[in-house]
Amino acid sequence: MSARIVEVNGTQVVFGLDWVPLSGDGSEKDEVVQIVKSNKAAYQVRCAADHAILFGFLAKADVPDDVKNPKFKSAAALLASFPDVAANAIWIEVDGQTAKMAALRDGLPLPLGDFYGSVMEADDRIRHIEADSGISFTFYGNYSEVYESSVPISLAELCDEGSSEVATLVKASRSTDKRMLVIGAVALALAAWQYGGDVWRFVHPPKKVEKVDATKQYLQQLPSRLAMAGTVAPVAARFIHGDWSKETLQAGWFLTKVSCSIAQCSYAWNIVGGDGAALERALGTRNIMFSPDGQQALVTLENQPAPQTPLSSDRLPSTAEFRRTQGSFAQDLSLLNVSFQFGDTKLFGADNPSAIDLNKLHGAIRSGDFKVTGKAAVFDDVLRHLPDSVTLDSMDLTITGIDPVFELRGSYYVKD
């Protein structure tokens, strides 16, 4: 991940740290040293909770050459230490087409949510976070035109009210105590001088370096990653639809958007003459989050738990077959102004694809993102024709007068 540094009132705020949870094997210091070496990190920050410890690392390559005596603060750590912030939170500040973002899960930074870049990619990351976690997040920042219930907090306020002690990065730990290394070196030198080279080899035997077989490791991890890939379309269709039977005008409020993941659906309302109490009575619930100015309201409802439906690698189509069948379907629906967009594929579930020998895979599984947009009237037809080689992440229904439009997002999988 490439980090970005933003200066706010003299504070250098870092976005896009590499966040790594500690495994708990051995001492914390030794584990951090090993991670620092493998990531070539220059700075680090520690975030801890009762259930886990995470370290955020800033690579040396991401530190600008012209920065003198840097005092970096992590945006995600500032959010984690902000007074009264929700344990599951997403903060996003938008300026034109650029977004700054930080996210928390159970009070600790979410790696995918520590981001600086385009608004489009920030939206995509938020959709993946919500789909993967299956829980509700409290939104903060200035992106209220999309996340209507956002609590307004600026980056400057994050810097002022977040804990400087928690969020400040320190130089990365690269070795054990230097004094102990000096004492050990002197002792070994004396032993070598007094007893000869045999003693040195006895005290300091050569270490056997075991080479990690990346391909073997990938194949071992593949079944579990397939099981966590998501919910296949034929099953997800029953949970990602939302309730479109609601009256769009109730008690002086107009339903403007329905946003669903597999786990939940959110309903956004805009005021057109009513008040909060009237909407609560009309919907029969007090579980409504109103915007600070009272002009928007968000109601989030949990869906019934979806059954576990892991992808079956044996049933995945080839790239050619997938393009033939889904391409024909997309051509048919294009006559109804439905648009399919399929992203490029990459090796599924691989942390380091270049280290994997594809010849040993006996059929490489690849995945790519896809998006479908169109009129709500044909939404059910789209769902019915999506195969079980597709998983669904989220759906948005935007209500524009009498002609609502939907946007469906997910991933597709092929086997070459």
Report DSSP letters for 50-102, one per residue: SS-EEEEEEEGGGS-TT--S--EEEHHHHHHTSTT--SSEEEEEEETTEEEEE
C-alpha span between 55 and 33 (Å, rounded): 11
Question: In the prediction, which pLDDT does 48 show?
Answer: 86
Burial class (CB in 10 A: 0-12, 13-18, 19+), 273: exposed
Q: Compute the distance between CA of residue 394 and CA of residue 263 in angstroms, rounded to an integer.
A: 10
Beta pairing class for 138-141 and 89-95: parallel
Interacting residues of 410 by C-beta distance below 8 A, sequence separation 6+: 230, 233, 236, 369, 370, 390, 391, 392, 393, 394
Long-range contacts of 175-178 (CB under 8 A, 24+ apart): 175/33, 176/29, 176/30, 176/33
List pLDDT tens digits, range 219-273.
888 887 887 777 888 888 888 888 877 788 999 999 999 988 888 888 999 999 9
Higher-pLDDT residue of 402 and 146 is: 146
Does position 197 have pLDDT exceeding 50, yes or no? no
Q: Could you say which DSSP state residue 209 is in?
A: P
Residue 372: pLDDT band (50, 70, 90) is: very high
Q: Are 372 and 383 in contact (CB under 8 A)?
A: no
pLDDT of residue 49: 82
Q: What is the mean pLDDT of residues 321-350?
A: 87
pLDDT above 80: residue 28? yes
pLDDT of 154 over the 80 cut? yes
Handedness of CA 135, 141, 142, 148 (dihedral sign): positive
Q: What is the overall mean pLDDT for the chain?
A: 83
pTM over 0.95: no
| Number of residues assigned to the chain | 416
pLDDT band at 408 (very low <50, low <70, confident <90, very high): very high
230 φψ region: left (φ > 0), alpha (ψ -120 to 50), beta (else) = left
Question: What pLDDT shows up at residue 168?
Answer: 92
191 pLDDT more than 60: no
CA geometry: angle 256, 259, 118, nearest 5 deg: 100
